[in-house]
Amino acid sequence: MPHVARIYDYYLGGKDNFPADRQAAEKTLEVFPDAPTAARQNRAFVHRATRYLVAEAGIRQFLDVGTGIPTRPNLHEIAQGIAPESRVVYADNDPIVLAHARALLTSTPEGKTAYLDADLREPEKILASVEIAETLDLDQPIALSLIAILHFIPDSDDPYGIIRRYVSVLPSGSYLALTHGTADFTVEVSAAQEVYRSRGISGTARSRQEVEQFFDGLEIVTPGVAVVHRWRPDAPFGDSLNDAQVSVYGAIARVL
Ligand SMILES: C[S@@+](CC[C@H](N)C(=O)[O-])C[C@H]1O[C@@H](n2cnc3c(N)ncnc32)[C@H](O)[C@@H]1O
């Protein structure tokens, strides 16, 4: 059976994927050839967003759910490159990610990282875990990082309610950072969603308005919900990329 973590690894040029994953990825590329561009821009957002959270917002603790197969630099490497004392708990529900988790446990001596085999849809279990208790201080601000995971949570699993349950226990000054696939710019993404669904992977592209709803009650950081390559770009990208090629929204917001 194909798995999203390994399909995504294939788009990024990784080696941790099997024939079923490569077949699903190739089928997707037939209908949405820009999937690797979208994946790379999504990773680039992780770099900029993490730098923003550490260097500008002063965050030193992260909970990253839907981590994926380790891809260097991983979130803790970016955060600890700026603030070595940063602490990161990673969580994913894919056994293949668990099998590679050692690469996520390469913390600086001043900081700490932990890995948790868990499902985003069980916030209480994640928040009450030993890994969180031993790694994060729930009284201090935490950035909840949900990168390219929520489009795998169908409406029937109440993704908005899930986010509210996490945010309700985060102290004031915490942040929510997320990215999310969208079909707002091209029907190719809807076709890609069908390829995933035909292989048993629930994919739900959401509109800008639906993505904005994840941030209800939070103070959104400028520029708000943007296609990820337009979110605080390091350098002007001119005409080299358009929104349809990227088709992933991203944003960061502060918990009041
Ligand atoms: C497309 S990858 C994104 C990886 C990484 N966050 C990034 O953006 O580079 C999505 C990840 O979410 C994980 N995932 C999907 N549904 C999940 C759930 N309900 N609970 C935990 N992890 C989940 C998958 O196993 C996969 O590793």
Q: How confident is the model at residue 238 (pLDDT cuts 50, 70, 90)?
A: confident
Residue 149 C-alpha to ligand 1 middle, in angstroms?
A: 5
Ligand 1: residues within 6 Å at CB?
A: 4-5, 8, 42-43, 46, 65-68, 71, 92-94, 97, 119-121, 147-149, 152
Q: What is the pLDDT of residue 15?
A: 93
Answer yes or no: is pLDDT of 166 > 90.
Answer: yes
Which residues span the domain enclosing 184? 4-254
Q: How confident is the model at residue 240 (pLDDT cuts 50, 70, 90)?
A: confident
Please give the model's pTM, rounded to 2 decimal places: 0.97
Nearest CA to ligand 1 atom 10: 149
Question: Where does the chain show beta strands of DSSP type E?
Answer: 61-65, 87-92, 112-117, 143-147, 175-181, 219-220, 226-227, 248-254
The atom number, within ligand 1, closest to the CA of 97 reads: 27
Rounded to an integer, the average pLDDT of 67-72 is 95
Residue 238 C-alpha to ligand 1 middle, in angstroms?
A: 31
Q: How many angstroms separate the CA atoms of 195 and 173, rounded?
A: 40
Q: How confident is the model at residue 234 (pLDDT cuts 50, 70, 90)?
A: very high
Residue 160 C-alpha to ligand 1 middle, in angstroms?
A: 17
Answer yes or no: is pLDDT of 239 > 80.
Answer: no
Rounded to an integer, the average pLDDT of 223-244 is 92
Each residue's pLDDT tens digit, 9-32: 999 999 999 999 999 999 999 999
What share of the chain in percent tops pLDDT 90?
98
Q: Would you call 94 exposed, middle or buried from its count of C-beta atoms within 10 A (0-12, 13-18, 19+)?
A: middle
Rounded to an integer, the average pLDDT of 69-97 is 97
Helices 35-51 and 75-82, interaxial angle, to 10°? 30
Each residue's pLDDT tens digit, 175-197: 999 999 999 999 999 999 999 99
Q: What is the pLDDT of residue 159?
A: 98
Rounded to an integer, the average pLDDT of 212-224 is 98
Domain count, the chain: 1
Q: How many angstroms separate the CA atoms of 32 and 39, rounded?
A: 12
Report helix, strand and coil shares of the chain as percent, to nearest 5.
Answer: 45, 15, 40
CATH number (domain holding residue 62): 3.40.50.150
Nearest Cα to Cα of residue 143 among 5, 46, 19: 46
The atom number, within ligand 1, closest to the CA of 67 reads: 6
